[in-house]
Structure 1
């Protein structure tokens, strides 16, 4: 799974979901090309029925066992791994996505969307979950979380009204019918969660807290859903296959290996069991056993990009960098529009700091950044690649992009200024560096003014950095 890249949230994220400090350090955004693709495949017919551009909707995976999902910052849907792991029918996942799409098209929380559009994914997650903590009955801790979010703090950020919930229900039903799908999964999912309404507040699932459920509401929703000509239509075999692979991959990576082997014992020779065990063996540093499971899958599906990607990851993380490159290359050939796989290939190419491989790495990273421009890790790797070619101008530009995404304005301004000075004047890259410099410089000046200080005339003299300064080389 390339890369379950974990962006651990700050220590302020206490009581985000269940008011449990022990869990705060576990909250993270994870990236996985296969799972993100599958969720988009589930949701695309719904988004089209809703009149949304599927390319404009972003899906984010939250590494948390809570059964939860929400929308924020316009067209961003946050899906918790816990929801995917408990789902036993893809129609449940599809139904939830339809309901959340109803919140998007209904303009719910619209007062806050403009303010969040420029925020990073982590900032958005902090703000929304902080508000959820407040709505769940932990106002002090929620306020602390939201305090890190600046001007967008609000006590009602995730507390939908019953009117909005009903509107999202009806919109979701409409989108499911328009896309020729059954709403039975949404009903069964709500019935599962509705049973928790009798629990005490602190034990309720966060989806129940933020999306109030009642048996009357579920009954009305069922009556409307059963009128659809597609009520009895099951999920397609392809959608069933996707969910089984999603669950196997998540369980393999996120559950304790002992539990993985309990769920997928050795006598289970299904594709999903072998997939999960390949991951679990890798996590135990049992590379030979891991590759044996994976090679059996590749023997059946030699061009599956996600099996190839996982093989590259296993080899790379086991110290077999050279052997990892070819599976990654094959994965890119099989799925050329998966930016995370291209980034993984580039990372393997750059691992030995061989300048002869810099061009191939740059080509893949540029392609990845064109498809997904806010991946800070990809920009960091691009800066390293340009450094190998001794192209300090482009390295500085890539570093400026990386620091801009990370919200590190002083470093972004510094690297953008280097790029402006070194790049060819009036070139597209030069104009981009100018834009980055102005945005970062304005952010630095705003920080000084909030502190009651006079902004410096040179960003090299500022003291607004968080203490994590870049190295002498761009991208360090």
Structure 2
């Protein structure tokens, strides 16, 4: 208990003078807390694209992976922001890169990894494939239709990224996690790398880790498991072991070289380990049954990650008042931690108390100004409160947030409601059209864009936005 508190204190203390830096370095968001999307949201996505990878948006997890990846990308000489990390809602251990701009990582990579170094090692290896241009053969083998299917799937994932969907019809559009399908493209089609390319990626990963001062021990831990799994039936092997074959001989050679690295004995920082443990707890709480959560984090476990997991489990299964009590206990330990307030707001919002949710969301945004997902949450609560006093502020917040997060289907839905209640029917139609576009429903988007254009001044920015949607529709259908 004391050790954990000290570690957390080292993370939080700098926030007292620099809240935005804290939020950037230790980002926890409830905007993507509902990682297991209820049937309503899944059905909506599956109606558009019936099969494919289940994707998920979670700002805290994405932030952690970016922190892991940023120095690795820099060490590999990749331009800033070239590679987007995309989460796959799958508990198996797997990661892959379909091209030079996207890296797919299963939730299971984090959930199975005991240390940050294990995840960083995987990222370093996949970065080796990107920097080594090992993806040309894959692109040549895949049809253009398959590639476009993946791109469409990625865009669809962002469509329902903000909000936490529940069975409550009053907030059914509040999906915080995005699960979509592609056109049936199998993961394994992307993973047929030649053995020479795998070895080259191994060596590149070691160089990157050495340059950034991270031990290769975590990567070895992951790859040793792969080497061991190769001895067993494929039925019980993680996909990563199948797609990235690791013979024992290759592992032994990698281990010999890794142990010679000057940072091999370096341990992960307590701060980073705490972040890792927090994300693991969160992912387990949102992807598992309550009983599973309490077996992994029993009441006797007073660590912050354990409390976090139990609070999320309570939010998903108990009355709002009980969940809020657990979240308040978290806030008492970390009052400068913006995303505990966000979790509290979500619990209240999902508990049918949108007006009460406004204050904690506002507090979270005050601690981390400009976060688009927090702005959408606050706007959502204001609209759901049915209080006319909040409509103009909600519209301002949602409009600003959607400039930064243009794939938030829920953000557009709430903006459409706010516009309609303010009497701006053209703005409501345009926001609805943009929401359909974000979800990938181009036909519906065009229908609402046409309606919006009839009420908008020709050539105005809003009219042009509607026209852009219509142009995309024409190109996609190949007709006028």
Give the alignment's TM-score, normalised by structure 2. 0.79
* Residue in structure 2 matched with residue 59 of structure 1 by the alignment: 85
In structure 2, C-alpha distance between the alignment counterparts of 1:396 and 1:107, rounded to whole Å? 44
Range moving further from structure 2, 30-39 or 319-328:
30-39
Per-residue deviation, residues 166-199 of structure 1 (Å, max 9, x unmatched): 2222222222222221111111111122211012
Alignment of 1:36-51 (within 5 A): 36-51=62-77
Are positions 1:423 and 2:449 aligned together? no
Residue 228 (structure 1) shift: 2.0
Alignment of 1:461-472 (within 5 A): none
* Residue in structure 2 matched with residue 409 of structure 1 by the alignment: 442
Give 3-state SS (helix, strand or coil) of 1:64's partner: coil
Alignment of 1:52-451 (within 5 A): 52-110=78-136, 111=139, 115-116=147-148, 118-121=151-154, 149=183, 156-444=189-477, 446=478
Q: Which structure's relative contact order is higher, taking Cα pairs within 8 Å and 6+ residues apart?
A: 2
In structure 2, C-alpha distance between the alignment counterparts of 1:154 and 1:63, rounded to whole Å? 13
In structure 2, C-alpha distance between the alignment counterparts of 1:385 and 1:100, rounded to whole Å? 43
Unaligned runs of 5+ in 1: 17-26, 126-146, 447-454, 458-476
Give 3-state SS (helix, strand or coil) of 1:78's partner: strand
In structure 1, C-alpha distance between the alignment counterparts of 2:307 and 2:401, rounded to whole Å? 30
Q: Is the 8 A contact 2:281 2:306 kept in 1?
A: yes
| Aligned CA distance change for structure 1 residues 223 and 13 (closer, same or farther; 3 Å) | farther
In structure 1, C-alpha distance between the alignment counterparts of 2:195 and 2:451, rounded to whole Å? 53
In structure 2, C-alpha distance between the alignment counterparts of 1:124 and 1:210, rounded to whole Å? 24
Structure 1 stretches of at least 4 aligned residues deviating more than 6 Å after TM superposition = 11-14, 122-125, 152-155
In structure 1, C-alpha distance between the alignment counterparts of 2:419 and 2:402, rounded to whole Å? 15
Residue 337 (structure 1) shift: 4.3
In structure 1, C-alpha distance between the alignment counterparts of 2:445 and 2:324, rounded to whole Å? 41
* Residue in structure 2 matched with residue 452 of structure 1 by the alignment: none
Q: Is the 8 A contact 1:42 1:239 kept in 2?
A: no
| Aligned CA distance change for structure 1 residues 155 and 227 (closer, same or farther; 3 Å) | closer
**Aligned counterpart for 1:2 among listed residues 20, 31, 35:** 31
Residue 431 (structure 1) shift: 2.3
In structure 2, C-alpha distance between the alignment counterparts of 1:202 and 1:153, rounded to whole Å? 17
Residue 286 (structure 1) shift: 4.1
Residue 385 (structure 1) shift: 2.1
Give 3-state SS (helix, strand or coil) of 1:55's partner: coil
| Aligned CA distance change for structure 1 residues 382 and 59 (closer, same or farther; 3 Å) | farther
In structure 2, C-alpha distance between the alignment counterparts of 1:113 and 1:227, rounded to whole Å? 43
Q: Is the 8 A contact 2:419 2:425 kept in 1?
A: yes
Q: Is the 8 A contact 2:216 2:264 kept in 1?
A: yes
In structure 2, C-alpha distance between the alignment counterparts of 1:118 and 1:423, rounded to whole Å? 31
RMSD (Å), alpha carbons: 2.8
Q: Is the 8 A contact 1:74 1:113 kept in 2?
A: no
In structure 1, C-alpha distance between the alignment counterparts of 2:359 and 2:86, rounded to whole Å? 29
| Aligned CA distance change for structure 1 residues 387 and 53 (closer, same or farther; 3 Å) | farther
Per-residue deviation, residues 143-170 of structure 1 (Å, max 9, x unmatched): xxxx9739x8898432222122122222
In structure 1, C-alpha distance between the alignment counterparts of 2:303 and 2:366, rounded to whole Å? 26
In structure 2, C-alpha distance between the alignment counterparts of 1:204 and 1:272, rounded to whole Å? 28
Alignment of 1:7-26 (within 5 A): 8=42, 10=46
Residue 418 (structure 1) shift: 2.6
Give the alignment's TM-score, normalised by structure 1. 0.79
Per-residue deviation, residues 271-304 of structure 1 (Å, max 9, x unmatched): 1111111112222214343222221211121121
Per-residue deviation, residues 323-368 of structure 1 (Å, max 9, x unmatched): 1111111111222343322222221111134443222222222232
Unaligned runs of 5+ in 2: 1-29, 159-180
In structure 1, C-alpha distance between the alignment counterparts of 2:100 and 2:412, rounded to whole Å? 25
Q: Is the 8 A contact 2:96 2:190 kept in 1?
A: no
| Aligned CA distance change for structure 1 residues 369 and 49 (closer, same or farther; 3 Å) | farther
| Aligned CA distance change for structure 1 residues 401 and 304 (closer, same or farther; 3 Å) | same
Give 3-state SS (helix, strand or coil) of 1:159's partner: coil
